[in-house]
Structure 1
Amino acid sequence: MDNAKRPSSELTLAGQVTPDHLQPAAQQSFQEGWFKKLRGGFLLVIGYMLSPLCWWNDLFFNLPIAYFFGYICSWLSPDLLLPCSIVGYWLSNIAGILLMQVGAVDVFSKEPAERNWKKELLTGVVSSTAYTLVILALIQFKILDAPVLFPGG
């Protein structure tokens, strides 16, 4: 019995990996996958809050961001407040859609895949632009009431 070799020692001697060596790699892969899903979930929630898909987000997120952006631009010229606020609103919607796309890919993908950032950015820009144009048309045709930004003007 002393001459009998143990299978694990043969594998180690042959330069192959034993099950003892596989466990840390599997654990690290599990931790990376868990972190990726957690990060993706966080980005998905933040993106949803900024996106046009969330009906109540404008009051708490998008409009304050848009107004702040317009306010910063109004330091250059007071006439830039409203146009830059619209641009800020549009940019916050684009950021929300892009964050949702990145987060959804992290959460729902099984294995890492090549990302097409140009296509994702184009999708975000087109959908946010369409949404913003619809909102502006609804305000222009008096279907939606716009808040009074400049009372008495």
Structure 2
Amino acid sequence: MESVQNVTQELNLTENTTLQQLQQCTPKELKKDIFKKLRGGFFLILGYLLSPLCWWNDLLFNLPIAYGFGYICSLLSPKLLLPCSIIGYWLSNIVGILLMQFGSKDIFQKEPQDHNLKKELFTGLISSTVYTLLIILLIQLKILDSPILFSKS
């Protein structure tokens, strides 16, 4: 019987605390919080579409971005098309991972914290590099077929 009373008291206390927190929020803060969550959701979705975590994104997003980057570089020298396209693909994956990190922080963090840009760039760089090396390894082991672009003929 005492445990039921304790649970009831805890629920009432939690309800009162939540009600006080809601009352303390001004409409301006609430709008700011909603905007922050929407912005975070947008960055999270955009980052997911650019990241290597999305399996179908390459054809629609990353390869056109990579080719555009390579094309711009090839205006300086035609030999730069392929290397700069690879670099552009790699950079689009890094940007995707970073956007996912920024977006998830906006959505899931309660109190604002400073972003450590160097750490986030390093994390994105390492994860994209590991992904790229994994794909190269799978192609070398003949687990994945390489495109005609990389054929030896």
Length-normalised TM-score, structure 2: 0.77
Task: Give the share of equivalent positions with the same residue, in percent.
Answer: 68
Report which of the two has the higher share of helix.
2
Q: Quote the offset at 1:24 in angstroms.
A: 10
Aligned to 1:129: 129
- Shift of the 27–113 alpha-carbon distance from structure 1 to 2, 3 Å rule, reads same
- Shift of the 136–150 alpha-carbon distance from structure 1 to 2, 3 Å rule, reads closer
Aligned to 2:73: 73
Once the two structures are overlaid, the 10-residue window that deviates more, 93-102 or 73-82, is: 73-82
Aligned to 1:143: 143
- Shift of the 77–141 alpha-carbon distance from structure 1 to 2, 3 Å rule, reads farther
How far apart, in 1, do the equivalents of 2:82 and 2:27 lie? 53
Aligned to 1:84: 84
Aligned to 1:53: 53
How far apart, in 1, do the equivalents of 2:96 and 2:44 lie? 9
Q: Quote the offset at 1:31 in angstroms.
A: 0.4
Length-normalised TM-score, structure 1: 0.77
* Amino acid corresponding to residue 92 of structure 1 in structure 2: S
User: Which structure: larger Rg?
Assistant: 1
Q: Which runs of 5+ in 2 are unaligned?
A: 1-22
- Shift of the 116–93 alpha-carbon distance from structure 1 to 2, 3 Å rule, reads same
Q: Count residues with an aligned counterpart.
A: 130
Structure 1, residues 53-99: CA drift from partner, whole Å, max 9, x if none?
00111111111111111111112222211111110010000000000
Q: Quote the offset at 1:143 in angstroms.
A: 2.6
Secondary structure of 1:144's match? coil
How far apart, in 2, do the equivalents of 1:41 and 1:67 lie? 27
